A and B are shown apart, each in its own frame.
Chain A
Amino acid sequence: MADKKMALIATKGTLDWAYPPFILASTAAALGYEVEIFFTFYGLQLLKKDLNLKVSPLGNPGMPMPMAMDKWFPVLGTALPGMESVMTMMMKQKMKSKGVASVDELRSLSLEAGVRMIGCQMTVDLFDFKPSDFIDGVTFGGASTFMGFAGDSDVSLFV
């Protein structure tokens, strides 16, 4: 079991989509997998020291809204200023009440379990991010770095 490997690519930077890579990574590590995650484009937001992730109801018809708002609230209303903050706050409260871990906690647990995190250097350059924006323990590289690990991994997913 010690030799199994999982390679993930994390491409999304919203609160909801932060969960799949960190849940899979922390769990796989607990099962004895060696895990590496390659964070590219908006996925790099998940490596920021200051995790300010949001969830948006805009353009997201699959998202259940509080008070069954998705049934009567006009779609255009989801574009109103402040909606994102309100929905993010409500989502975080809901998660807490259901015993769902915070993204920060899952990220820490992943790092603690030895999950390696690679930031996409090209994206860092593209968006003018600073190395100091990111948590300790992140290394930076490109597609070739990812392939070096993914090439002989047992599970490889694009999230």
Chain B
Amino acid sequence: MSNFDQELDARGLNCPLPILRAKKALNDLDGGQVLRIVATDPGSVKDFQAFTRQTGNELLESGETDGEFTFLIKKAG
């Protein structure tokens, strides 16, 4: 797993909370910094793809291990 600047634990949260929490966390980062998110909501896989596509942030990595989904998002700018 690549480096990241901040981590967000979104485990146990359901739609739309993982996205809303991620948005909040990204607000506190500088452009180019990377947020790592861990979620258990299976819907978050498609949701984070759509979120990054629409916000211009970059989805660097997306993966699953033992029912946990991890995402690396690089903040735009």
Contact = CB atoms under 8 A, between A and B. Distances in A.
Interface of A: 1, 23, 26-27, 30-32, 98-101, 106, 109
Contact of B20 (A1, A98, A109): A109
21 contacts: A1-B54, A1-B55, A1-B56, A23-B15, A26-B20, A27-B20, A30-B16, A30-B19, A30-B23, A31-B55, A32-B54, A32-B55, A99-B12, A99-B13, A99-B40, A99-B41, A100-B14, A101-B13, A101-B17, A106-B16, A109-B20
Interface in B54-71: 54-56
Contacts of B23: 30
Interface in B7-27: 12-17, 19-20, 23
**Chain B: number of interface residues, binned into ranges:** 10 to 19
B55 to A, nearest CB: 6
B41 to A, nearest CB: 7
Given A27-B19, A30-B51, 14 more contacts: A1-B54, A1-B56, A23-B15, A26-B20, A27-B20, A30-B19, A30-B23, A31-B55, A32-B54, A99-B13, A99-B40, A100-B14, A101-B13, A101-B14
A147 to B, nearest CB: 26
Interface of B: 12-17, 19-20, 23, 40-41, 51, 54-56
A109 B27 CA distance: 14
Nearest to A30: B23
Contacts of B15: 23, 100
Contacts of A99: 12-14, 17, 40-41
B71 to A, nearest CB: 15
B58 to A, nearest CB: 14
A99 B15 CA distance: 8
B22 to A, nearest CB: 8
Contact of A31 (B13, B14, B51): B51
The 3 closest A-B pairs by CB, nearest first: A30-B23, A99-B14, A27-B16
Contacts of B20: 26-27, 30, 109
B15 to A, nearest CB: 7
Contacts of B19: 27, 30
